[in-house]
């Protein structure tokens, strides 16, 4: 009888531990998705994200950036989070100025918040190549780019990224770019990396956006149900592959930053 009671207790304990672990995992996932829906930042505290934006970012945001951001929210609602947040924009602006960048390329434009950040940061003779197949989204932000007086710095390619970058290479522009920013289709980041290593000069920087995907890249697949895998989306898998690839790439120096939704900086070494 004692053995039977002990066995039952062990069974109940195991069941309780399993249930408790499942509840913890579910809570973590709900927090992650709540953050993803509310803000394109990996900060899990909405109060902290709001503090950063309202204390440091929004007060110093260029007027046309503010207008473009609001126009994007009005036109695209929750999809407006496809643009970088204002604090990440501030970081990119400072980085470009510290680099003394003059020629950059942007793969994935959407309505152009990061594009306008770049154009404003470049000197008067600076140039930025912008690539996106969605011209309608680009034209949503174009009036604010023109209003800011930097439209002449931008050359827009209404094209898929691979075709456009190969055309630029064929045009003899290999190794002429100081900086590249990539915020596009995640499944093609690695193939874009190979083309960008040809376009960006040695010592130049390639920046990949969304590389932490609201923190979900850290979740272990075996612990997730099929339902949760589908809700997170396949981009989590693509970005995990990219992160592993970049970590092993001896051609670049790597820094992965916990800003926005994760930003990976690759300085070309060879």
Instruction: Supply φ then ψ for residue 159, to 5 degrees.
Output: -160, 165
pLDDT tier at 10, thresholds 50, 70, 90: low
The mean pLDDT of 120-127, rounded to a whole number, is: 98
Q: Which residue from 126, 136, 133 is spatially nearest to 104, judged by alpha carbons?
A: 126
Which structure tokens are listed for 94?
């400072």
Mean pLDDT on 177-206: 98
Q: From CA 166, how far away is CA 241, in angstroms rounded?
A: 24
* Res. 74 pLDDT band, cuts 50 70 90: very high
Whole-number pLDDT of residue 44: 72
Q: What is the mean pLDDT of residues 52-62?
A: 96
Between 186 and 18, the more confident residue is 186
> Using H for helix, E for strand and C for coil, what is the string for the chain?
CHHHHHHHHHHHHHHHHHHHHHHHHHHHHHHHHHHHHHCCCCCCCHHHHHHHHHHHHHHHCCHHHHHHHHHHHHHHHHHHHHCCCHHHHHHHHHHHHHHCCCEEEEECCCCCHHHHHHHHHCCCCCEEEEECCCHHHHHHHHHHHHHCCCHHHEEEECCCHHHHHHHHHHCCCCCCEEEEEECCCHHHHHHHHHHHHHHEEEEEEEEEECCCHHHHHHCCHHHCCHHHHHHHCCHHHHHHHHHHHHHCCCCEEEEEECCCCCEEEEEECC
Residue matched to tokens 């055309």: 167
pTM above 0.85, yes or no: no
Q: What distance in Å separates the CA atoms of residue 171 and residue 7, rounded to the nearest whole number?
A: 75
Does residue 107 register a pLDDT over 90?
yes
Among 45-49, 80-84, 96-100, 213-217, the range with the most confident prediction by mean pLDDT is 96-100
Tens of pLDDT, residues 221-262: 777 777 777 777 889 999 999 999 999 999 999 999 999 999
pLDDT in tens, 138-174: 999 999 999 999 999 999 999 999 999 999 999 999 9
If you average pLDDT over residues 63-72, what whole number do you get? 98
Query: What's the confidence (pLDDT) of residue 25?
Result: 47
């Amino acid at each position: 009888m004692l053995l039977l009671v002990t066995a039952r207790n062990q069974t109940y304990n195991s069941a309780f531990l399993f249930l408790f672990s499942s509840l913890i995992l579910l809570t973590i996932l709900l927090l992650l998705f709540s953050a993803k829906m509310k803000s394109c930042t990996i900060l899990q505290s909405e109060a902290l994200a709001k503090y950063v934006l309202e204390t440091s970012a929004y007060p110093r945001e260029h007027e046309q950036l503010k207008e473009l951001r609001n126009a994007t929210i009005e036109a695209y609602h929750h999809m407006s989070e496809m643009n970088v947040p204002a604090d990440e924009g501030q970081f990119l602006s400072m980085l470009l100025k510290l680099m003394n960048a003059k020629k950059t390329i942007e793969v994935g434009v959407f309505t152009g918040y990061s594009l306008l950040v770049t154009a404003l940061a470049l000197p008067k003779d600076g140039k930025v190549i912008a690539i996106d197949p969605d011209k309608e989204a680009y034209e949503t932000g174009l009036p604010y780019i023109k209003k800011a007086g930097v439209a002449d710095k931008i050359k827009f390619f209404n094209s898929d990224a691979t075709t456009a970058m190969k055309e630029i290479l064929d045009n003899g522009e290999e190794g002429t770019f100081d900086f590249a920013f990539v915020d596009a289709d995640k499944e093609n980041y690695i193939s874009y990396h190979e083309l960008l290593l040809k376009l960006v000069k040695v010592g130049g920087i390639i920046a990949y956006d969304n590389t932490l995907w609201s923190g979900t890249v850290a979740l272990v697949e075996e612990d997730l149900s099929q339902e949760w895998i589908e809700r997170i989306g396949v981009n989590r898998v693509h970005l995990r592959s990219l992160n592993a690839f970049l970590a092993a790439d001896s051609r670049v120096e790597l820094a992965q930053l916990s800003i926005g939704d994760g930003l990976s900086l690759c300085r070309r070494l060879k």
